[in-house]
Amino acid sequence: MTRLTVYGRDETGYHLPDYTRLLPWQDHPQRVRLARESRAWVARFPESHTWAADYRRKPPAEALAEWMDDGFDRFSCLSVPQADTARMRIICDLNQWYGMLDDIAAAGGRFRDTTETMRRAAFERTMSILYTQGEPHGGTSTQPTDTDRMCLGRLLADSWHRWCVTCPPALLDRCRAGISQVLQSWITETEIRIRGQILDFPTYLAFRRTAVAASSLPRFVEYGLNIDIGSELAAHPELKQLEELQCTYLVLLNDLYSFRKEYVRSKDPVNAIAVLTSTGHTLQQAVNYLCQLMQETEREFVTLRKSYLHTRPGLRSEVPAFLTGLGLLMSGTLQYHRMSPRYHGTGRPWTDIGSGYVTLDSNTTVITRATP
């Protein structure tokens, strides 16, 4: 075990408090089959292997297998567990690409090391795919371009094509808008990392609601349930408030559980704990504050959802179904972050880390019940 100190301070760990969940979570009943099929799909693309080798600094097959064990297919099954299996498979594949692009933007490597012009070209390539119907793998683009290799454009084109042909047109427009915002934020986030810039907490939180993809995920819920609640979203401000609470919750839990990994990787400034410790909080104070905000945000979501459903009689059945799905998205994302080797170390079993004292080890999350 290699213990770390944080930002040169005499802090080698923190107590992760107990968390009282108000929202239930569930898994997709076909998750094992979906994982097998989605991972085989990723492996069909040679550029997936090339990217993984560059990202993990290991031989391509080993690197890609390790990356896929992070489980974006499992995240998909936990975040939209009520989707039918055919739609769930498309969500899994699109989220595999989403996860890869998140790592491309966040980690060192070709994307960060290249010019701003090339990063913009990769962004424009993703936009050109999103604002068409995509293209099935094996179509006219049989070989990836350099730009496609940088943004894994062929994976997006294939999964997006299947999404487009199964998505209602009005919802598709909102999906495009949401994913486009996320991609733009990743360009900005990369530039923040290059500059080593640390935002103030309110600015950071507002920015990250988009940057961690949280703002686009409610559209995944609609797609998975095969519904379109666009008219209600436009007419009912409470629904927007509920989505904003969901976004805030996902930012907080992502930063809480990903801090060790991101600090080890690059002392990443794009994390709420990094922001708070830069303004005088100790590591423990920052962790406590995030946990408190998570609990308050979840409680506010549950209260507002109940009030909205009570005071809006005559809603279409799709709206309560969506709000149930939004709660499952929140709690399923929390469960993923508490289990995935992505946050707790390569090879670590998929078990809930629970609460206890977290020692900042360079390889894995070491958590014990006793505080040293």
Can you tell me whether residue 13 is helix, strand or coil?
strand
pLDDT of residue 295: 97
- The pLDDT, as a whole number, for residue 112 is 65
Please check whether residue 4 lies inside any domain of the structure: no
What pLDDT shows up at residue 62?
Answer: 95
Whole-Å CA distances, 352 to 31, 72, 289, 325, 349: 18, 17, 21, 22, 9
Sign of CA dihedral 265, 207, 9, 261: negative
Please give the pLDDT value at position 1: 40
Rounded CA separation 183/192 (Å): 14
Instruction: Indicate whether 315 belongs to any domain.
Output: yes
pLDDT of 129 reads 96
Buried b (16+ CB within 10 A) or exposed e, 280-295: ebebeebbbbbbebbb
Q: Does 296 reside within a domain? A: yes
Q: What pLDDT is recorded for position 41? A: 97
pLDDT at 371: 56
Q: Does residue 8 lie within any of the structural domains?
A: no
> Is 276 among the domain residues?
yes
356: DSSP letter: E
Distance CA 39, CA 320 (A): 33
The pLDDT value recorded for residue 131 is 94
In sequence order, the 6+-apart residues with CB closer than 8 A to the CB of 138 are: none
Spell out, as residue ranges, where the chain has pLDDT lower than 50. Answer: 1-4
CA-to-CA dists, residue 276 to 73, 205, 245, 247, 265, angstroms: 32, 11, 20, 19, 19
Residue 307 CA to residue 33 CA, distance in Å, equals 38
Report pLDDT for 141: 57
Query: What pTM was computed for the model?
Result: 0.92
Residue 339 token pair: 């289990």
At 226, which CATH number? 1.10.600.10
pLDDT at 72: 97
Inside any domain, residue 3: no
- Phi, psi dihedral angles at 15 (to 5 degrees): -90, 125
Which structural domain range is residue 77 located in? 13-368
- Does residue 67 form part of some domain? yes
Number of domains in the chain: 1
- % of the chain residues with pLDDT over 90: 60
129-187 pLDDT per residue, tens: 999 999 998 755 568 888 898 899 999 999 999 999 999 999 999 999 999 888 887 77
Which residue stretches of the chain are H helix? Answer: 31-43, 46-56, 60-68, 72-79, 85-106, 110-113, 116-130, 146-151, 153-165, 169-195, 201-211, 217-225, 230-235, 237-266, 272-277, 283-311, 318-339, 341-344
Residue 214 domain flag: yes
